[in-house]
A and B are shown apart, each in its own frame.
Chain A
Amino acid sequence: MSAERERDARAGEFVLGVADEAEMARMEEEFQRDPEFARAVGVWRDKLSALDRVADPVEPSPRLWERIREGVTTRPIPRTSAVRERRIPIWQNLPFWRSATLAAGFACLLLAAGLGSMLMEPARQPVVVAVLEADDSTPGAIVEAFADGSVVLRPLKALDVPADKTLQVWTLWDRAVGPVPLGILGSLRKTTLEKGGQPVPQEQQLYEITLEPKGGSPTGRPTGPILYKGLATSPL
């Protein structure tokens, strides 16, 4: 099969959404990274959308718009207009990650709740904190990164991890270096990760948790879907 046909077939599978989770995640990554693949995806979306047009319309309940509106007004969006920014690999997509700083104020509130434990150990003041959010902006975990390189992860909600998967925590402090793995977890629970040899954490440093094959990413780079992500900010 020629490279172009192979790409078209994969793009079609991506639009159908038939592949398993790991394969869909790989294709999502390809969609973000490869403009040719993204174009092929766009062509399939247009072609197949005729089947959407013939679905029986169903009148939504009156509450639905109100709920959407509430979601919209409580969470302002970043006012970036770079139409092509989606093509930038996500790790280099600063405007995208900046939206996560919206969580900064929220982080302070949540940290106030977590201060109890920190007051017990006054020497342990994190250099930066980050609230990691899911794609729909619900907060999933807080990261506290300390000057000695340790990172404390506090979950905010329960998360079921399939038996054959592992959660992996990553950070990005230099786009030239790329994402650095901080550790793997079998489940989302309060964990201290000790990864030496890292620079002192700084503001705007990205933290994220991805779902990887059991034992962690085979490539040393994130391969699975991003579950939570957020940018670091310095606590006052």
Chain B
Amino acid sequence: MLAGPGHEFDHGAAVRGCAAGDEAALKALYDAEAAAMLGVALRIVRRRDLAEEAVHDAFLQIWRKAHQYDPALGSGRAWMFAIVRNRALNIVRDRSREDLVDDETFETLQADHDETLMRLPERDALRRCLEQLDKPRRASLMLAYVSGFSHGEIAGRLGVPLGTVKAWIRRSLLALKECMA
């Protein structure tokens, strides 16, 4: 059931199955996405045990909140990943990141982010538009989305004032939005 890009798996239908109490639908979502969700959680929490906790909590939430899922507000897949990201973010916000990141340097993180971006198809709109942002702004967005950093953490890592980071992210989001429209 592990499906690659361009897969036909219907997440929305499986989420509706969960809402109707069909445990097999939850298992199908798990088989399709648990490994990918664990990868996303691990990018944020950095520790395998905590990442599994995030995925565990996420699937329980998916089950319990399936009846709230509204297809008008994005794809079922994006909804599931938003849930696991939120769980992972809650975990890192509750701890100091020093507990989680051992000796990872900022340069390694940035190299990881560059590589992440290169994995997007060359003509992918998000990639094209992210590449148009200047480096510190792109780095801020990637730190936020991929690594789950807060405004304050990004300011600390980049050594710039908090207000500057907030403005960068805000303007980068608007530039992305315009570019991807």
Interface residues of chain A, those whose CB is within 8 Å of chain B, are: 5, 8-9, 12-13, 15-21, 38-39, 41-61, 64-65, 67-69, 71-73, 75-87, 95-96, 99, 135-137
Of the A-B pairs whose beta carbons lie under 8 Å apart in the complex, a sample of 20, sorted by A's number, is A8-B173, A12-B169, A17-B86, A18-B150, A20-B150, A39-B72, A39-B73, A45-B75, A45-B82, A50-B124, A50-B126, A55-B42, A64-B52, A68-B56, A69-B23, A77-B21, A77-B66, A77-B67, A83-B68, A136-B60
CA distance A220 to B169 in the complex (A): 32
With A60-B52, A81-B67, A83-B70 known as contacts, the answer to whether A65 contacts B126 (CB < 8 A) is no
Q: How far is the CB of A165 from chain B (nearest CB, A)?
A: 14
Nearest to B113 among chain A residues (CB) is: A51
B contact residues vs A (CB 8 Å cutoff): 2, 5, 19-21, 23, 26-27, 30, 34-36, 38-40, 42-43, 48, 51-52, 55-57, 59-61, 63-64, 66-75, 77-79, 81-82, 85-86, 89, 93, 116, 119-120, 124, 126-127, 141, 144-146, 148-152, 154, 169-170, 173-174, 176-177, 180
Q: A38-B73, A45-B74, A55-B43 are in contact. List 7 more A-B contacts (CB 8 A).
A: A15-B145, A39-B72, A39-B73, A51-B116, A68-B30, A72-B63, A79-B21
By the criterion CB–CB under 8 Å, are B40 and A52 in contact? yes
A146 to chain B, nearest CB (A): 32
Residues of A contacting B55 in the complex (Cβ-Cβ under 8 angstroms)? 60, 64
Given A45-B79, A48-B126, CB of A17 within 8 Å of CB of B39: no
Interface pair A77/B39, CB less than 8 Å apart? no
6 tightest CB-CB pairs across the interface, nearest first?
A42-B73, A42-B74, A12-B173, A55-B39, A57-B35, A54-B119
Complex Cα–Cα for A155 and B48 (A): 31
- Give the residues in chain A near B48, CB-CB below 8 Å: 58
B-chain residues with CB within 8 Å of residue A5 when the two chains form the complex = 174
Question: Are A78 and B5 in touch, CB under 8 angstroms?
Answer: no
In the assembled complex, the Cα of A96 lies from the Cα of B68 at a distance in Å of 9
**Cα distance, A61 to B49, chains bound together (Å):** 10
A-chain residues with CB within 8 Å of residue B119 when the two chains form the complex: 54
Decide if A19 touches B177 in the complex (CB within 8 Å).
no
User: Cβ of A8 and Cβ of B174 under 8 Å apart?
Assistant: yes
Choose from A12, A21, A45, A96 the contact partner of B93 (Cβ within 8 Å). A21
CA distance A6 to B173 in the complex (A): 11
When the two chains form their complex, are residues B5 and A16 in contact, meaning their CB atoms are under 8 A apart? Answer: no
Inter-chain contacts of A56 with B (CB < 8 A): 39
Q: How far is the CB of A73 from chain B (nearest CB, A)?
A: 8
A53 contact from B36, B79, B144, B152, Cβ within 8 A: B36
How far, in whole Å, are A64 and B53 apart by their CA atoms in the complex?
9
Measured in the bound complex, the distance between the Cα atoms of B61 and A65 in whole Å is 14
